[in-house]
Structure 1
């Protein structure tokens, strides 16, 4: 994904566009809060992200034990939709990372992610009615694919996570018609659509291929947030609900921190 994104940035520059601001689907930006991101670039040791009132802890990559409150509770909950925390098979890989996020109202979360998840592992929990399987058709999961970005967000004291399913490769190569999903259950979910246009003096301008970030829509297909993955990154929040803003900031943080490392 990193190579594709670099190619997209190069093409945007060649087209004479400013590669820092995506064009969103909703032309009304009066209720959109644009937040610059600190900490995405540079040395990744002890990396932290910050935007607006949201800050991450130090990002741990390829962690093996300790340092968070969720290790050890991945089984035995009895919850119908409950998945295991990302297994050590992925934790020990360079593409896995963990962080906590907090805001000015002292909310806190635990976030686990892997940016090289394979399609066979998307049956976590081995439950045909799990969140991952409920949205199987929406995200068009193909077999023998190992480019999924899989993320779990545990908000405060919750024992069931929100889960992101995003095919890194398809979201770039099929950006015009790809949809990812961030879901808690079959009724509470968001969809992610690649952003394929950038702002210019003459209005939204399409890029030749790929995407520059993701626009996030709620279950009613209302645009509620977006994240730009160009340069330092930017977060756009359109909701005024503080709990929803916190949840979506977790999602945006995970997308900003994703690192595609070639094996």
Structure 2
């Protein structure tokens, strides 16, 4: 009941205003903000854009469900995929290939109790992306998962001496006294320092630290595009 009330209040809030993520004031002062286009309306031949960055046509697979049954237990995977090229409007930046979905375990007692006697006993959402920067041979990996919490994970490379970025889902809005109970964006950190934020509610928005090198800004813009195009599985 509490979660339903929070989601209803969130819907009212979004319908009446255009709230932003709750962000640290120091980060906001150092960041450039870019509104996003391409997330609304009919998504066939979808192309996403912000600042000078733009995706190629986003290629999506239909979500598929597979089930493994062992006695009264079922392991279910609902998964889909999407892939796209990414450029800064003049040059290619990266190629991204993402897979997302949910793994869940069920107890099925329909044969004994009849009706809808089937319960989820565990579930985990996931988002995994490969990010190949233009001209490079080593791909970056985004690995994120959530079990009763918001997605949390890391963007990293197997190449030595490369940074590791922590990516945290958030449900906190500016001006709200409590979390809204629904993910509204992601915060990106390197060595505890916030470098970017991605708002995924409404049309979307991206903040990137203005002091970063062009290479790192392009990398974080690619990450932002992957998160803006991610759609959680519907159970």
Which residue pairs with 2:69 in the alignment? none
Which residue pairs with 2:197 in the alignment? 226
Which residue pairs with 1:103 in the alignment? 88
Which residue pairs with 1:29 in the alignment? 28
Flag the 1:43–1:8 CA change in 2: closer, same or farther, 3 A: farther
Which residue pairs with 1:131 in the alignment? none
Which residue pairs with 1:62 in the alignment? 61
Q: Does 1:257 align with 2:235?
A: no
Q: For the Cα contact (< 8 Å) 1:12–1:18, is it kept in 2?
A: no
1:198 pairs, out of 150, 173, 177, with 173
Q: Which runs of 5+ in 2 are unaligned?
A: 63-76, 105-121
Cα drift, residue 146 of structure 1: 5.3
Q: d(CA) in 1 for partners of 2:13 and 2:43?
A: 31
Flag the 1:209–1:254 CA change in 2: closer, same or farther, 3 A: same
1:1-263 → structure 2 map (5 Å cutoff): 10-14=8-12, 18-62=17-61, 95-104=80-89, 106-116=91-101, 147-167=125-145, 169-170=146-147, 173-175=148-150, 179-185=152-158, 187=161, 188-200=163-175, 205-218=177-190, 220-240=191-211, 241-262=213-234
Cα drift, residue 28 of structure 1: 4.7
Deviations 1:94-130 (A, max 9, x none): 72011000004513211000112659xxxxxxxxxxx
Deviations 1:17-47 (A, max 9, x none): 8454101134452221111110011111100
Q: d(CA) in 2 for partners of 1:117 and 1:152?
A: 18
Q: For the Cα contact (< 8 Å) 1:166–1:180, is it kept in 2?
A: yes
Q: d(CA) in 2 for partners of 1:243 and 1:107?
A: 12
Flag the 1:189–1:23 CA change in 2: closer, same or farther, 3 A: same
Flag the 1:155–1:115 CA change in 2: closer, same or farther, 3 A: same
Deviations 1:53-106 (A, max 9, x none): 10000001129xxxxxxxxxxxxxxxxxxxxxxxxxx9xx97201100000451
Flag the 1:9–1:40 CA change in 2: closer, same or farther, 3 A: farther
Q: For the Cα contact (< 8 Å) 1:35–1:52, is it kept in 2?
A: yes
Q: d(CA) in 2 for partners of 1:237 and 1:8?
A: 29
Q: d(CA) in 1 for partners of 2:199 and 2:5?
A: 15
- Structure of larger gyration radius: 2
| TM-score normalized with structure 1 length | 0.65
Q: d(CA) in 2 for partners of 1:9 and 1:61?
A: 28
Cα drift, residue 236 of structure 1: 0.8
Q: Higher strand fraction: Structure 1 or Structure 2?
A: 2
Query: Comparing both chains, which one has the higher relative contact order based on Cα–Cα distances under 8 Å and sequence gaps of 6 or more?
Result: 1
Cα drift, residue 197 of structure 1: 2.0
Count residues in correspondence. Answer: 198
